[in-house]
Amino acid sequence: MINKFLLKEFGDRIRYLRTQENLSQEQLSHKTGFHRTYIGMIERAERNISLTNMAIFAKAFNLTLDELLKFDNAKELLKKYELKTED
């Protein structure tokens, strides 16, 4: 559940930043080097991307990684769920 939430929050953040800069997915693909369909899959929370790819998005939007990862609702949802780790 948390994983899907985080993917959705990240995808929504990428879509928001892209539309704020009046960029199409195609234009963002040229800035990042990612395929347009990959960007669409991220925005629809269908892909779990690497930290390296997050850094590429941050650079494309002239943000730091921590600025890129500022989600509006993450803190509230994380309080509701216990994160489990393997022993």
Question: What would the pLDDT profile of 4-57 be if each residue is shown by its tens digit?
Answer: 888 888 999 999 999 999 999 999 999 999 999 999 999 999 999 999 999 999
C-alpha distances (whole Å) from 75 to each of 59, 67, 71 are 24, 15, 8
Residues 6+ apart with CB under 8 A from 46: 7
The topology (CATH level 3) of 2-72 is 434 Repressor (Amino-terminal Domain) (1.10.260)
pLDDT score, position 28: 98
In terms of pLDDT, which residue wins out, 44 or 78?
44
